[in-house]
Structures are given as C-alpha cells and as structure tokens.
Structure 1
C-alpha cells in the first residue's frame, strides 16, 4: 500500500528540531561549566530549549501513537519530523507555553496535533493517544529528577542543579495540567471515549475554553496556593527542595536580578 504516511521524508527528523537540541546541548554545557559570564543567561537558554524539546516530544508521542492506532494521515502532516512549525496550533503548542514559562514558571500544556479520529477503532486506542503526550512529560520529569532521588548530585555544579530543578517543575506542572479531565485537555481525551454519546455532545462546545477556564481558576489565590503546594510536595518527594526549585526559577528570570541566597559554584 502506498500512502504519504510511509514516505521516508515524512519521518525524517527536522533540521529545526536538531537545531533546538543543539542549543540545548551547548547551553547545558555552558550551564555546567560556568562558561557563560552571566549564569542566568545560560540557564534561561538551556531550560527554554529543553522545554521546547519536551513540547515537540509531547506532540510527537500523540502523533506516533495515532499512526500505530490507524491514522496513516499523520506522516503527511509532518508531525513525525518533530518540527514545531508543523503543528496545527503552533501558537498554542509553542508560543503560549513559552510565554507562560517566562512569566510565571508554569508548564502550560501544548496544543494538539490534528488526528483523524474516524480512522481509529477502539476506545482504548483513543485513550492511549490522548495519554501519550502527558506521559512524555512524566518521563521527562523522571529524567530531570533522577539525579536528585538517586542521590547522584556530587560534583554537579549548583547552577546546573538549579536549572534541572526548575525544568522538573515545568514538566510536573505540564503533566498534572494535561491530565486534568477538563474538555480541551488530554485528561478529558483519555476519558471521553468511555462517556455516552449525549454527554460528549453536551461537553463538546466547551472544549475550546477548557484551558482558559483552568488558568482562570488558577488565578484564584486559594486555588493557586493549593495547586503549587501539591506541585512542591511532588518535587519534594522526588528529592528537590524549595531552595533548589526557587533558585532555578530565580536564575531563569535573570533580568530580575539573582537573589543573594542563590549562590552558585563553578
């Protein structure tokens, strides 16, 4: 069978993604070695590049799972190339998440790739497609926190340690927000196939506003405090204390000036 989904070019890793990975590697090295004169700049570039890489992998996981579940149109759309410019909602997938990271240190869920659900048979497959993205964030968080809960931080420079702590914060918030059973988010996509037809029809008009509603609710002080207390508890269980997480965010927002309590070693 000949389809666009099986062309080699549709699966070739994009130079755009390779370039982002290269930026992550170089700035990660600069963060580790203290090569940069201003450590905050290196941390900002490293965490931002790593965050974009995680967003690309999030969308790739949705697309790859959809491909193996029956949507052979995925390849022709360019989703398997890991190119963020190919997403149907580049603004939601890349730009808005970056803005929220820079402004408030929140891992905003990315937008969704366009999947032709009518090609896919079986409720479990539909649920798995939705779950694949946030599970990627969970895996990314595990990798970022591994040095902390494995107690292998000896010799790791403070700057790099703080950067990993902040990156882990972003991944944990992204995973939790994505798994919320709110229309428009992946968590709702996981349970949607199991809902009755009438309920799905009633909920469908609210899907475009689900993410906005979540962030509107997070502006409520009591909800915001409870949400981040839960995030910090998870990070604490993974070995990241408040100082490491705070200093990571402080270094990332280098334009505000680095707190004197966030001393770094080189």
Structure 2
C-alpha cells in the first residue's frame, strides 16, 4: 500500500507538469507563435494593437495574464523540485516524514511561485502600458532585451545568488535545519524552499521578456538550465559560466542592430 501511494503521488506530480506544458503549448498556438516566440500573422496584428484601445484583449488584463503566468510557473518550476522531493523521501523514515508532508512541500513551493506569478503579471502589465513590451510580452527595444540579459548574467555572480542557489542545490541541508513533521510542517518547509528558489531563479523568468513569455523553446531552455543548476552533482559548476554566457548574449543583442544597420 505505501508503494502504491508513492507511485500515485509521483504520477500525479508528473501528470501536473505535463498538463501545464500542454496548456502552455495550446496557448502558444492560440496566440499564433512560432517556437522562438515570434508572432505569426495573427500574432503580429495582436502585438501591434494599442492595449489602451476600447476592445477586449485578454493579455492586457490581470486575470487571464495571471492565469498564464501561474500555469507557466507550474510547467517550469515543478520539474526543478524533483531533487528536493527525493531528499524529503530520504528523510521520511529517519525523521518521521510523511506523504502528507511530501504533499505539503509541493503545495508550499507552488504557492510561492504562484505569488511570484502575480508579481510578474503586474510587472508585465506595467511594461505593456508603458510601451516597453508588446501585447505578447516581448521587449520592443533591443536595448531593453540586452539590459535584461546583462543584469541577469551579473546576478549569477552575486552573494544573493550564491545563498539562494546553495539552498536549492542542497535541499537536504535545509530540511535538516528546518525540519517539521506532518502536512503543516511540509507546507512550511515548502514555503521556505520556494522563497529561496524565487531568489535563485527570478532572473530566468524575467528573460521571457527577451525571447517571448510564451516561447516554448526559450522557456524550455530556461527550465532545462534551472533543472541542471539544481542537480547535486553538477549544479554548482554551471552557475557562473551561465552568467558569462548571458552577459555575452546581452552584448551581442545590443550590438546586432548596429552591425546590421537596423
């Protein structure tokens, strides 16, 4: 019976991830985007529209945009939780962990990222009505995109990144220092882990404004890197090299329009 419950919970967990990615795919199709976030004919007309026009534009309203970001958080961040849940399972016998606590960790982690989805939704709307991004959430100026890439790249070298990544990279140490039993205990630890994870990965979410917030390729690559960054064996080796890569991308992003005469 315990093995059946474990299998059911893990299948449900991965099913939620697959569902979230399917919804993201469906939304990208409905917005007429290609894999790298460029709008097709329909998407170009949508992106060119003034959000202040007297017409219904769901991506200019908080509710639909928040739902999109919340689903995106589930699709991108739940896969990064796998090593953490495995660490919790390692402590289930020696530290009186429970399946209810396991669920609490998942829920707490997800709640923090849903809260972050609300924050970044507000940021996107402010950028939209300020004329910085288009209706599809893509920066209109190459300088904005370059600036974001460089800022996120520089963040990879900060003490804040080091602290937050240390917790995400070694969740066992966090559990040992903050252990609580039962569902409420798991929820509390999940909230704490989620907060450190937001501190570690907020920059990669903001880069959606460079490559397209609904670009499956762009966000898929961000998800892959965040998963690798949290792997116990290799995660600490990739953080700073990615910082260098993002800075170089930012410089190239800014230089390309000048070199091409655009």
TM-score (norm 1): 0.36
Higher relative contact order (Cα pairs below 8 Å, separated by 6+ residues): 2
Higher helix share: 2
TM-score (norm 2): 0.36
